[in-house]
């Protein structure tokens, strides 16, 4: 089966329930550096607000029940598009439909999730939402695992670039009011790393408790090497945490601060390299063997639902952070997998983490994620 991430194609059904060594003295900045902050960073958002206010963007209205997973699914999809979203809570939309309804100009669209996504992709082609991954023969938990790898790799690469940028400045401020002083920026870095670390640990636990035991039942010792690699990186992960704590209390721009940031940059780069090697080993040599385990459809769905239990933070307050590491098509595919393996109530409670702010209010009426991604590219 080869690399799992390259063997996937369109999987959305036509109903809402989808188918089941750098010198220490130089600290050279990479040229050109990829962005290391989230897509709604000030250097993207500020000029964007000047040029494109919500009033100048196409307005898409979404009608539906706030408690419905179908409504939250479509709500999240629209956030990727370069539009202004207006959400109108309605248990029974006024268009004669029971499913969520979107309205754009004179168009009123309802029906299955794939019908609505297809319409959105036709009207607003970038970015596309419908997946072209080929998941028909691949066990669902393998697809989910590969998506975990993609998100974790993206976040690690972002942290590496960020640490290298900090090193070139000796921890001094970039002059960005969003990031604040040098010490404030390091605290933001610490928070971001803490979230990433939690994702990494939950992912490893999911593999050890759910994926690897399936393979071990078929061939004892098959996953021994990759399990050992999980434990190998724990001291490195903890070392990064200690480096960050040290940097926070040191004087910005001092020699000791520069040394600590250099140590941080070196460690996080090593963690990235180890993880990429580990993920590649799993995707080429371990995960393809799950197909030979011949799990039934019911067993696959049960295994994937158990992963929601084993990874509680990933599927609650860290879900939005996790999704940032995926392309829009990959993010929608991940939601398809969740929809497929669990009941509507649980799916709805998970999806709300993506479409509500910290006060439980629906996200709407502003330039959306898709516009920011377009500006970023």
Domain count, the chain: 1
The confidence score (pLDDT) of residue 358 equals 61
Domain residues for 305? 140-331
pLDDT band for position 40 (cuts 50, 70, 90) = very low
The confidence score (pLDDT) of residue 77 equals 95
Listing DSSP states for 106-158 in one string gives: TEEE-SSHHHHHHHHHHHS-SS--S--BB-SSS-HHHHHHHHHHHHHHHHHHH
47-51, 180-184, 331-335, range with the lowest pLDDT: 47-51
The confidence score (pLDDT) of residue 224 equals 82
pLDDT digits (tens, 9 = 90+) for 113-128: 999 999 999 999 989 9
Q: Is residue 78 part of a domain?
A: no
Nearest of 157, 154, 152, 163 to residue 188 by alpha carbon: 163
CB atoms within 10 A of CB 234: 12
The confidence score (pLDDT) of residue 12 equals 40
The residue that leads in pLDDT, 14 or 111, is 111
The confidence score (pLDDT) of residue 99 equals 83
Q: Is residue 305 part of a domain?
A: yes
Can you tell me whether residue 363 is helix, strand or coil?
A: coil
Q: Is residue 2 part of a domain?
A: no
pLDDT digits (tens, 9 = 90+) for 255-267: 999 999 999 999 9
90-94, 103-107, 239-243, range with the lowest pLDDT: 90-94
Q: Is residue 236 part of a domain?
A: yes
Q: Is residue 316 part of a domain?
A: yes
pLDDT digits (tens, 9 = 90+) for 186-222: 999 999 999 999 999 999 999 999 999 998 888 887 7
pTM for the whole thing?
Answer: 0.80
Q: Is residue 164 part of a domain?
A: yes
């Amino acid at each position: 089966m080869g690399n799992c991430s390259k063997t996937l194609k369109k999987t959305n059904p036509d109903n809402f329930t989808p188918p089941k060594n750098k010198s220490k003295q130089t600290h050279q900045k990479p040229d050109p550096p990829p962005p290391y902050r989230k897509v709604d960073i000030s250097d993207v958002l500020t000029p964007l607000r000047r040029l494109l206010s919500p009033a100048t963007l196409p307005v898409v209205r979404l009608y539906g029940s706030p408690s419905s997973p179908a409504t939250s699914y479509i709500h999240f999809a629209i956030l990727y598009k370069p539009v202004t979203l207006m959400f109108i809570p309605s248990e029974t939309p006024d268009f004669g439909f029971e499913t969520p309804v979107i309205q754009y100009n004179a168009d009123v669209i309802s029906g299955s999730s794939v019908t609505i996504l297809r319409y959105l992709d036709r009207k607003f082609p970038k970015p596309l939402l419908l997946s072209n991954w080929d998941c028909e023969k691949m066990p669902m938990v393998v697809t989910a695992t590969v998506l975990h790898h993609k998100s974790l790799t993206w976040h690690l690469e972002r942290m590496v670039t960020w640490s290298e940028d900090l090193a070139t400045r000796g921890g001094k401020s970039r002059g960005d009011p969003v990031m604040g002083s040098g010490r404030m920026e390091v605290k933001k870095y610490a928070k971001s790393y803490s979230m990433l670390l939690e994702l990494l640990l939950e992912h490893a636990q999911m593999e050890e408790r759910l994926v690897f035991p399936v393979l071990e039942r078929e061939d004892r010792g098959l996953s021994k090497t990759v399990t050992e690699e999980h434990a190998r990186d724990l001291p490195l992960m903890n070392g990064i945490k200690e480096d960050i704590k040290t940097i926070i209390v040191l004087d910005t721009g001092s020699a000791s601060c520069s040394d600590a940031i250099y140590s941080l940059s070196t460690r996080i780069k090593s963690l990235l390299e180890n993880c990429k090697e580990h993920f590649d080993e799993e995707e080429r040599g371990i995960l393809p063997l799950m197909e030979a385990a011949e799990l039934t459809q019911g067993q696959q769905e049960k295994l994937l639902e158990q992963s929601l239990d084993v990874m509680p933070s990933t599927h609650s307050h860290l879900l939005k952070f996790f999704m940032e590491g995926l392309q829009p098509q990959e993010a929608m595919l991940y939601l398809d997998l969740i929809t497929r393996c669990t009941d509507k109530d649980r799916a709805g409670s998970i999806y709300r983490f993506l479409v509500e702010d910290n006060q439980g209010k629906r996200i709407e009426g502003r330039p959306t994620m898709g516009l920011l991604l377009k500006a970023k590219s």
